[in-house]
Amino acid sequence: MTSETTATSPAPETDDLPEQTRVRREKRERILARGDAAYPVNLPVTHTIAQIREGYGYLGDGEETDDVAGVAGRVVFLRNTGKLCFVTLQDGEGGRLQAMLSQKVVGEEALANFKADVDLGDHLFVHGRIGSSRRGELSVFADEWRMAAKALRPLPVLHKELSEEARVRQRYVDLIARPAARDMVRLRAGVMRSLRENFHRRGFLEVETPMLQTVASGASARPFSTHMNAYDMELFLRIAPELFLKKAVVGGVEKVFEINRNFRNEGADSSHSPEFAMIEAYEAYGDYDTIGALTQDLVQTAANDVLGSTVVTLPDGEEYDLGGEWAQITMYGSLSEAIGEEITPETGVEHLTKLADKAEISLDPKKANHGKLVEELWEHHVGDGLYAPTFVRDFPVETSPLTREHRSISGQVEKWDLYVRGFELGTGYSELVDPVVQRQRFEQQARMAAVGDEDAMPIDEDFLTAMEIAMPPSGGMGMGVDRLLMALTGLGIRETILFPLVKPQG
RNA sequence: GGGCCGCUAGCUCAAUUGGCAGAGCUACGGACUUUUAAUCCGCAGGUUCUGGGUUCGAGUCCCAGGCGGCCCA
């Protein structure tokens, strides 16, 4: 342990600090100088704010009890009227309790110290009888106060919204000041719990697969790379857990899920974060239909568990219904209908390119294969207009190298994307388990990489070896947890992540 | 990657045509024993994101950069 000289050494140079910060440091020094603690190791807390609110909420105006409590909380309001001071304490959930400090009860010196040294934002301990003020505010009639932890920086004003940037950069302040920020933390925890409990009820096992991978595969995305000193080799942060989860299924973990972080070295905007939480699940002897039903239930159960309803209220007040059986459309069918001509897996690249030009979609011609063109056309003509929860089914084979070919339609794969309010919430497959076909798909990806497609999936020999041991027919799904929170609240991704990545301020 | 908008006191925001940089809350000093964003009196607080330039004079105009937001690709 280091010595405690830092606690007793003189205050650091304070001349250039803003006034309010300097003043608070001086108050800390004053508290220490008179022999009190500014940061005591513990305090005789007997009740939480919530316990007092629950236990004594019945008290009428001016009614007092002889019950005594020690309570602590963060000071969010201060109202001093000479010989009687009112202070409102807040707990982590936003619950508030008033304390009243009367000169007659705490004494002249203690009240003077209180007025001199307690600021908005401090953690404060009070001890005293529980009662109700004349105006009916549940209160602790303090016979003693102690500093629980002195705040050296002022809190923002609690009556104005913090700027969006300040909320993200100083989330701890946001959590103190804004109820919606506190709610999101609890909502997210509730969703995680709901998802896990749902999986457990269904007999799925939760596993954790590697974050550091020698080949980043399982999705079409660019990885972050890093370096391992001991082996002097390049490693990648994972872009998806898919290949490892499939290895688990090969080994007999037949119903398996993982909720964990993925990292994609791409842009960041209101619906993309470079690191994001994702749930993936695989079910042996399931397919994309069973896994779709599972996904619908995961979302609807989560909504019911955390909101009590599948009807969610968006920030503009609109009510959006996640309930019922979700619509199912096919990619080729809905695209054909939207543009008024039949598009099939046989439609040539030249014709698709013409259609793309007409729609003013620009694609690098080197990468413009049939599958990419169909998906781009679909997004433009159909996807952008989707609003109600919808499964979009049966994708082109080129863009889904890990998905089984459709059981009855040549050139398509058994994959769905789930769209909610126009954004992609999740995806599901009938998994490709034929190792020979899987190798051909990887080779096709390698050819795409060779012509400059940076998102193309690299060949993973280790994965192919596992597949050659034989994976049972399976359904698999993936869903962004942050996006699920977006679907349940209508908020942007950075509101759903407690500490999203932000660039340092210049 | 491109376009547009923003960055001013601890927080939220003003500042006319380029002419003394302001308000509310907070802070600080004072009054007040039932307040509810307490009230009243008084008084401080600034690298106007950074660096250049134009000008007698720049928060404001020009150039470069940083950070953020929105739209587009």
Encode pLDDT of A212-264 as tens digits.
Answer: 999 888 888 889 999 999 999 999 999 999 999 999 999 999 999 999 999 99
Q: What's chain A's average pLDDT?
A: 91
Å between A23 CA and B1 C1'? 48
Interval A379-396 mean pLDDT = 91
For residue range A92-112, what is the model confidence (pLDDT) as tens digits? Answer: 999 999 999 999 999 999 999
Å between A83 CA and B39 C1'? 15
The secondary structure of A383-394, three-state, reads: HHHCCCCEEEEE
The per-residue pLDDT for A360 is: 80
Nearest protein residue to nucleotide B25, judged by CA and C1' positions: A157
Lowest-pLDDT choice from A284-293, A352-361, A399-408, A460-469: A352-361
Backbone angles phi, psi at A311, to 5 degrees: -90, 115
**Which residues of A spanning 246-305 put their CB closer than 7 angstroms to strand B?**
267, 269-270
Which tokens is A488 given? 């349940």
Chain B footprint positions (protein CB, under 7 Å): 9-13, 24-29, 31-39, 44-45, 49-50, 65-71, 73
- What's the pLDDT band for A13 if we cut at 50, 70, 90? very low
Q: For strand B, is any atom closer than 7 Å to the CB of A465?
A: no
**Which residues of A spanning 360-389 put their CB closer than 7 angstroms to strand B?**
360-362
Q: For strand B, is any atom closer than 7 Å to the CB of A137?
A: yes
The per-residue pLDDT for A16 is: 59
The per-residue pLDDT for A181 is: 92
The per-residue pLDDT for A506 is: 58
Cα separation, A91 vs A107, whole angstroms: 27
Indicate if the pLDDT at residue A269 is higher than 80.
no
Q: How far is CA A2 from the centre of its chain?
A: 37
Percent of chain A with pLDDT over 70: 97
pTM, full prediction: 0.90
To the question of whether residue A417 is assigned a binding role by annotation, the answer is yes
Nucleotide nearest to A269 (CA to C1'): B69
- Listed in order, strand segments (DSSP E) in A319-362 are 319-321, 327-330
Q: For strand B, is any atom closer than 7 Å to the CB of A154?
A: yes
Q: For strand B, is any atom closer than 7 Å to the CB of A60?
A: no
The per-residue pLDDT for A43 is: 96
The per-residue pLDDT for A9 is: 33
Q: Is the dihedral of CA A412, A414, A415, A418 positive or negative?
A: positive
Interval A313-319 mean pLDDT = 85
The per-residue pLDDT for A235 is: 95
Cα separation, A415 vs A295, whole angstroms: 13
Indicate if the pLDDT at residue A414 is higher than 80.
yes
Nearest protein residue to nucleotide B7, judged by CA and C1' positions: A165
Lowest-pLDDT choice from A87-91, A340-344, A432-436, A456-460: A456-460
- How many CB atoms neighbour CB A313 within 10 A? 14
For residue range A139-187, what is the model confidence (pLDDT) as tens digits? Answer: 999 999 999 999 999 999 888 888 888 999 999 999 999 998 999 999 9
To the question of whether residue A297 is assigned a binding role by annotation, the answer is no
